[in-house]
A and B are shown apart, each in its own frame.
Chain A
Amino acid sequence: MKLRRILLAAACAMLAFAAPALAEDDTEKALEKYRQMLKDDPWTNPGLLDVDRGELLWTTPRGPNNVSLAQCDLGKGPGKVDGAFAELPRYFADADRVMDVETRLLWCMEKLQGFNRADLVKRPHPGGGAPVKELGAIATYVASKSQGLKFAAALTHPKEQEAVALGETLFMRRSGPFDFACTTCHAEPGRRIRLQGLPQLSRPEEARNVIGDWPAYRVSSTHVMTMQHRLYDCYWQMRMPELELGSDVSVALIAYLTSNARGGEISAPTIKR
């Protein structure tokens, strides 16, 4: 008797929510189909132009020292690009720091090619309509050379573990006039901001699904957006100041997200809304 009453109540509740839930489901299905079509035909992705551009930038002698990045060690030895992205972020003894791909490229461009670091971090990300900057294009190329691999950063060095812990703390740290933290949008399943689905990045199942998408070509801003740029954009929305490329905060958040995404497949560059 009691059970029947509960079932009846449940059925009523389902009826009450069925209509909007169905409509949302349809929208989500259509979007998923669109994403799958883009995935099925990777040549539709303009981000591939930046992969080529990045490769050229990697191999061309540049900067005040007029050298290529052939001596840049992304963790697997000087000049080794294949699979390097899948093992980042990692601790680099020469810099005595944990670095993600962009921070490492920043370091190589400064130390090997002689670029001025201050210039590189001054306006590191493109505005809407402009192509990804050179560093970002190289990062896109490097990431693409781990396509199909799974995130496998060891993150066992004490400094790597410290970065992950710092990243987790930052992920939850609320501040600014809107009281936002990363967790405001990314700590619960199935939420949306306007119509945009929000991954629950604290959950490995969801982090594995999306972190490997970046760098990604964004249709709405018509350029490749790197992970450092993505975080910069989040902080912009959170009403925080401009996040510096290569800062400990950005590296720590990437270490935390990559740690959550361990085992997730890398498909960068993907194409996003």
Chain B
Amino acid sequence: MRLIAVVLASLLGAASAMAQQPVDPARVDAAVKAAFPTAPAEFQPRLAPDETLKACSAHRNAPPQAVLAAIRARETATIEYPPDGKFLGDWKKGEALAQSGYGMRFTDYPATRANGGNCYACHQVTRRELSYGTIGPSLTDYGKLHEFRDSDAKAAYEKIYNAQAAFPCSLMPRFGSNKVLTIEQIKDLVALLMSPDSPVNQGR
């Protein structure tokens, strides 16, 4: 029995070692740089991962404890809060943002409107929108489930601003820290989730 366990463990070890095929990072960087030769100057920073993404990619989004703590600390420090101290904006604007996938694609320049959050690509948000993705959890009744607590509105704001502060290596974009959405836009999304009159909380 123990022998089987040992054999299994070594097999698993071998498999993961094989999966982690070491590719010279300089080779990867050079290949990426060469693969996007028409990238304008303002796109150049997109080609390389930052410290956090480097760690997430290397650990397949499941880093060990020490790395996790480092990411959490680093990303938490990037969060900027609304100057007026309020976390709930306009849920109607939030719904429009949740629907829009516009922004920052190379065909979106010069920009003709504000960036969207494209929440529905990955999340169920309101019940009335049936075209939603399932990469992230369903957000229906979000505010109701959180009993509309102020502390949870703040947590939702932080989660949208920088998902990795709460959940290191989350698949979700760091919308605030990466300057995809503004503070006001994030407040509108928080309102979509946390306002009692938002369709998110008007179910059945």
Inter-chain contact A173/B23, CB cutoff 8 Å: no
Which of B33-41, B81-89, B146-154, B188-196 is near enough to bind chain A? B33-41
* Residues in chain B near residue A44, CB distance under 8 A: none
| Residue from A183, A185, A191, A242 within 8 A of B61 (CB atoms) | A183
Sample 10 A-B pairs with CB under 8 A, ordered by A number.
Answer: A168-B21, A172-B60, A179-B172, A179-B178, A183-B60, A193-B133, A194-B133, A239-B46, A244-B34, A248-B31
Asked if B35 and A243 make an inter-chain contact with CB atoms under 8 angstroms apart, the answer reads yes
A169-207 CB mask vs B (1 if < 8 Å, else 0) is 110111111111101110010111111101000000000
Interface residue A146 (Cβ < 8 Å from any Cβ of B): no
Q: Contact check, B28 vs A173: say whether CB atoms are below 8 A apart.
A: yes
B interface residues, tally (CB under 8 Å): 44
Q: Taking chain B's interface residues, is the majority helix, strand, or loop, or is none over half, making it mixed?
A: loop
Chain B neighbourhood of A243, CB < 8 A: 35-36
A-B contact count (CB 8 A): 121
Contact B28 A242 (CB under 8 A): no
Evaluate contact between B38 and A241: CB separation under 8 angstroms: yes
The answer to whether the Cβ of B70 comes within 8 Å of any Cβ in the partner chain is: no
Interface string of A225-256 (1 = CB under 8 A from B): 00000000000110111111001111010000
Q: Are B131 and A195 touching (Cβ within 8 A)?
A: yes
User: When the two chains form their complex, are residues B57 and A240 in contact, meaning their CB atoms are under 8 A apart?
Assistant: no
Q: Which residue of B lies closest to A172 (CB)?
A: B57
A236 touches B46 (CB 8 A): no
Verify B53–A247 contact, CB threshold 8 A: no
Cβ of B167 under 8 Å from chain A: no
Please state if B49 and A174 are interface contacts (CB–CB under 8 Å): yes
Q: Is the CB of A192 within 8 A of B134?
A: yes
Across the interface, name the chain A residue whose C-beta is closest to B38: A242
Interchain CB contact under 8 A, A252 and B31? yes
For A176, list chain B residues within 8 Å (CB). Answer: 46
Does chain A have a CB within 8 A of B48? Answer: yes
Residue in chain A with minimal CB distance to B130:
A195
Task: Fill in one digit per residue for B135-178: 1 if any A CB lies within 8 Å of its CB, else 0.
Answer: 10000000000000000000000000000000000011110001
Closest chain A CB from B180 CB (angstroms): 6
Chain B minimum-CB-distance residue to A176: B46
Q: Nearest chain-B residue to A249 (Cβ)?
A: B35
Given known A192-B133, A236-B107, contact A177–B36 (CB-CB < 8 A): no
Query: Given A181-B57, A191-B134, A244 and B21 touching (CB < 8 A)?
Result: no
Given the contacts A177-B46, A179-B178, A194 and B23 also touching, CB distance less than 8 Å: no
**With A165-B23, A248-B31 as given contacts, are A178 and B171 in contact (CB-CB < 8 Å)?**
no
